[in-house]
Amino acid sequence: MLEIQNLSKTFNKSTVNEKKVFKGFSLDVKKGDFITIIGSNGAGKSSLLNIISGSIKEDQGYLKLNDKTINKLPEYKRTKHISRVFQDPSLGTSPSMTILENLSMAYNKGKKFGLTMGVSKKNKEYFIKILSKLSLGLEGQLNTKVGLLSGGQRQALSLIMATMSNPELLLLDEHTAALDPKTSKIIVDLTKSIVKEKKITTLMVTHNLNQAINVGNRILMFHQGEIVIDIKGKEKKSLNIDKLMDYFEKIQSKDLLSDRLLFQ
Amino acid sequence: MVDFWISILEQGLIFGVMVLGVYITYKILDFPDLSVDGSFPLGAAITAQSLSLGINPFIALFLSFLVGMVSGAITGFLHVKYKITNLLSGILVMIGLYSVNLRIMGKANMPLFNKTTIFSNNIKPIFIIVIITFIMKLLLDLFLKTKFGFLVKATGDNPKLVTSLGINIGITKIAALMISNGLVALSGSMMAQYQRFSDVGMGRGIIVMGLASIIFGQSIFKGTSFILPTTMALFGSLLYKTSTAFALKLGFPPTDLKLITSVIVIIALAINNKKFSFKGKKLFNIGGGRRVRNSESV
Ligand SMILES: Nc1ncnc2c1ncn2[C@@H]1O[C@H](COP(=O)(O)OP(=O)(O)OP(=O)(O)O)[C@@H](O)[C@H]1O
Ligand SMILES: [Mg+2]
């Protein structure tokens, strides 16, 4: 579904700040995969999602989505197939606009944004139905400005908006990291149910090992721009923190554990 | 005294059209567009030349609007295509327009005393001004409720969201700048016809007057959520005109007005920035999810 071959990326080339993030990186994602990605700070997780979505340009390598090369597609065209949710809840919505206006924009994705009215009354019920499922009380606040909502409410809204138009690929970059543990769980559960219902291929970056182990069908661990652990299928199902630790130990020589990892 | 108030109303509403334009860029788009100092006299220059060619004054209004749109498109193009900062794009166009305006008029100022203007009829000028200004305001309000208008609002609020909707933010930025500068040039055209002359220097400080009006408008309606921002902008323009008229009455020479305006804006911004941090400059930078900026270099 998504094929990345021989990817290379260096930031600030030939300056003192030169930073080689990827050197010949490859990854093959199957349709329907739900992959969780862990790894230390600076390992290249966000960079990979940025390259896939087109907000950062790679130096070399092929990106193929459904067998079509997407290297040359600008970011705003890739969003036709790829949706994202970021760590910062304010990046997924327009804070000075109301919930209704935000949802109406997301609903119109892929269609023409012309000079017809932005809010259509007949979609209201549909939006209320979706929001009621969240049990966050948003269904009664359609005319509230999104900037007034809590981080968790906004992130739930971001997730709904990002998936409303049934994208083929969903990229989540620590999308629960700015939330408290309880809200974080609500958002992860929401993520799981949406991904399952809409059958969206998903990459989810997280620093929460439990999340990474319990969610999805494949787990990747990044270190210095390389995949050092790749567990899928049955093995992934029976994975627990202890087993993951064993894996760590085997590759300890690369001093993986020196970095921030959250155990919860 | 009645004349005094009517002339404030007239000038305030003519400038109000300009303030609507500045409101689009400064407030909605978060793009401080300095080129309005050039597009205001551009509208006046186009109008002066059109009127002396005997073109219908209402068509001159329309032409000014169109040419203003072109000017806005150029500012936007410089910013979007060549990644020149928004401030510098505006300044470059503003400077360039000075020469363009001189070329259009052929000289530094053009009197229009014996030309037919939109005011050459039996209707009181104030009515004509009120009608034009309100039509522009209503059209803008309508536009901001359309799907495309939503995109323009979201572009200023969160460009990432617009990209994620599959829309090139370059397009929404350029479109918003076009509408904004169209309105500013239209205001310049109305002003030239009202005062019956066009001067190449009549745009100096327009951006600051626009800002002052927007700030005035916001402060009188503070805390009310049911008044449209475009209404606030128009009232702000009237209040601004009133305060400068009183400054003149108090005996300040007209040449001091620009300084007074600047000081007003500085005080308002200083008070505002103490209370809440500036729109768009959020102090977020947690761990990953770094925002990639590719349009913020000079
Ligand atoms: N736009 C950029 N310009 C320069 N360097 C960058 C840029 N983006 C990322 N980097 C560098 O690339 C490396 C990988 O960063 P990246 O954000 O991908 O890490 P990450 O795995 O997401 O880390 P974290 O867990 O902290 O989010 C880091 O050393 C970072 O400093
Ligand atoms: Mg990251």
pLDDT of residue B285: 36
Measured over the CA atoms of residue A142, residue A143, residue A146 and residue A149, the dihedral's sign is negative
pLDDT of residue B22: 98
Give yes or no for residue A61 CB within 6 A of ligand 1: no
pLDDT of residue A260: 45
Sequence-distant (6+) residues with CB within 8 A of A110 are A80, A165, B166
pTM assigned to the model: 0.89
Q: Report how far ligand 2's centroid is from the alpha carbon of A25 (Å).
A: 17
Taking CB atoms and an 8 Å cutoff, what residues of chain B touch A162?
A: 164
d(CA B66, CA B189): 11
Report whether B56 contacts B277 (CB < 8 A): no
d(CA B121, CA B100): 31
Instruction: Tell me the pLDDT of chain B (298 aa) as tens digits.
Output: 789 999 999 999 999 999 999 999 999 999 999 999 999 999 999 999 999 999 999 999 999 999 999 999 999 999 999 999 999 999 999 999 999 999 999 999 999 999 999 999 999 999 999 999 999 999 999 999 999 999 999 999 999 999 999 999 999 999 999 999 999 999 999 999 999 999 999 999 999 999 999 999 988 888 777 889 999 999 999 999 999 998 888 999 989 988 988 888 888 788 777 764 444 443 333 333 334 434 333 3
In angstroms, what is the C-alpha Rg of chain B?
A: 19
Lowest mean pLDDT among A101-110, A152-161, B128-137, B284-293: B284-293
pLDDT of residue A252: 58
Mutate to test the interface with A, among B161, B173, B286 (most CBs of A within 10 A): B161
Give yes or no for residue A89 CB within 6 A of ligand 1: no
Cβ–Cβ below 8 Å for B148 and A115: yes
With CA atoms as reference, the chain A residue closest to B166 would be A76
d(CA A206, CA B137): 48
Q: Report how far ligand 1's centroid is from the alpha carbon of B30 (Å).
A: 28
Looking at every residue in chain A, the average pLDDT score rounds to 91
Burial-class residue B252 by CB neighbours within 10 Å (0-12, 13-18, 19+).
Answer: middle
Please check the confidence at residue A135 and state whether its pLDDT lies above 80. Answer: yes
Closest-approaching ligand to the CA atom of A9: 1
Ligand 1 atom index nearest CA of A42: 19
ipTM: 0.89
Q: Report how far ligand 1's centroid is from the alpha carbon of B175 (Å).
A: 34
Cβ–Cβ below 8 Å for A113 and B291: no
Residue for token pair 């997730």: A159
**Spacing of C-alpha B224 from chain mean position:** 24
Cβ–Cβ below 8 Å for A87 and B145: no
Of B161, B168, B286, the CB nearest to A92: B161
Ligand 1 atom index nearest CA of A207: 25
3-state secondary structure of B117: coil
pLDDT of residue B271: 79
Secondary structure letter of residue A58 according to DSSP: -
Beta strands in chain B (DSSP E): 109-111, 197-199
Q: Pairing between strand B197-199 and B109-111?
A: antiparallel
pLDDT of residue A254: 52
